[in-house]
């Protein structure tokens, strides 16, 4: 199965207020394994970069001034995405911005049914924990040492590793630990299924009642094979044993 993990960087938080996408990074997965194929592009937003946004991703007006506008390379992006499911962290944000840009250049919106939100998956699997990309990297041992600032391609590559862990790790469906909670991804408009709890092993120590019942059962056997040799004595049954047997 082909899936695309993606991330965007923008001029702000709300495309409805005029904010634009300035970077997108995509990572291809086949059967939850990175293939090495990626798509990465910067875009000239046609507006000044707010300082607070530049502090987050480091993309300045000067750097973006010679980059193409979104509509100039949109076909390359759509060819890479094809009709694959799209995975993002806090996916409603990235999905909203991506569809806004597609609409601005006359392309069809991507339906919500194609979107998988790793933030929702993390909240279901780790209730009460932190769910930022950095926190999930720490939880799953993903190296984020190169993440000095937000970057769409690097963040998509980190998220691809986290997504694999959220969906069962490298050996999906073969987890043995009692705390393992494999989870299949779900489209964002559906509730993410609760993790399945494994059945804990039953203790091997038998109870006093079980021991008494076994002794009573053995005592009633006629000519058991193991009694044909020397050194075997028929077990005795006390009154306490007999009362337990009829309780």
User: Smallest Cα–Cα separation from 95: which of 107, 111, 108?
Assistant: 111
Whether 9 has a binding-site annotation, put simply, is: yes
The active-site residue, picked from 40, 109, 150, 214, is 150
Whether 179 has a binding-site annotation, put simply, is: no
Q: What is the rounded distance in angstroms from the CA atom of residue 23 to the CA atom of residue 238?
A: 82
Contact in structure between 237 and 216 (CB atoms under 8 Å): yes
State residue 129 phi and psi, 5-degree precision. -90, 175
Sign of CA dihedral 120, 125, 127, 131: negative
User: Smallest Cα–Cα separation from 100: which of 163, 7, 17, 174?
Assistant: 17
Whether 40 has a binding-site annotation, put simply, is: no
Whether 57 has a binding-site annotation, put simply, is: yes
Angle, nearest 10°, between helix axes 239-246 and 208-219? 100
Quick count: other Cβ atoms within 10 Å of Cβ 34?
15
Those residues with Cβ within 8 angstroms of residue 8's Cβ, 6 or more apart along the chain or in another chain: 21, 23, 24, 25, 93, 94, 97, 98, 152
Query: What is the number of H-type helices and E-type strands within the chain?
Result: 9, 5
Contact in structure between 160 and 36 (CB atoms under 8 Å): no
Quick count: other Cβ atoms within 10 Å of Cβ 243?
10
Whether 71 is catalytic: no
Q: What residues are annotated to the active site?
A: 150
Residue ranges at the known binding site: 7, 9, 57, 155
Residue ranges at the known binding site for a divalent metal cation: 7, 9, 155
Residue ranges at the known binding site for substrate: 7, 9, 57, 155
């Amino acid at each position: 199965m082909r899936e695309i993990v993606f991330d965007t960087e923008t001029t702000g938080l709300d495309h409805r207020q005029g904010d634009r996408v300035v970077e997108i990074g995509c990572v291809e997965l086949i059967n939850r394994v990175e293939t090495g194929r990626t798509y990465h592009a910067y875009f000239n937003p046609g507006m000044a970069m707010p300082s607070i946004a530049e502090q987050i991703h480091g993309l300045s007006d000067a750097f973006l001034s010679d980059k193409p506008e979104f509509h100039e390379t949109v076909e390359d992006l759509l060819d890479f995405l094809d009709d694959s499911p799209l995975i993002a962290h806090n996916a409603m944000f990235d999905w909203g911005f991506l569809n806004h840009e597609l609409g601005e250049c006359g392309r069809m919106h991507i339906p919500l049914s194609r979107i998988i939100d790793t933030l929702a998956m993390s909240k279901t699997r780790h209730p009460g924990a932190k769910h930022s990309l950095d926190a999930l990297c720490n939880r799953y041992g993903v190296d984020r040492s190169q993440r000095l600032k937000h970057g769409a391609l690097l963040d998509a590559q980190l998220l691809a590793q986290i997504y694999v862990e959220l969906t069962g790790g490298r050996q999906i469906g073969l987890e043995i630990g009692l705390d393992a909670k494999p989870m299949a991804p779900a489209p964002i408009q559906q509730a993410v299924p609760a993790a399945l709890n494994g059945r804990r092993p039953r203790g091997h120590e038998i109870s006093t009642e079980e021991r008494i019942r076994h002794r009573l059962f053995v005592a009633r056997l006629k000519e058991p094979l193991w009694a044909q040799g020397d050194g075997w004595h028929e077990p005795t049954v006390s009154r306490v044993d007999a009362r337990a047997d009829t309780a």
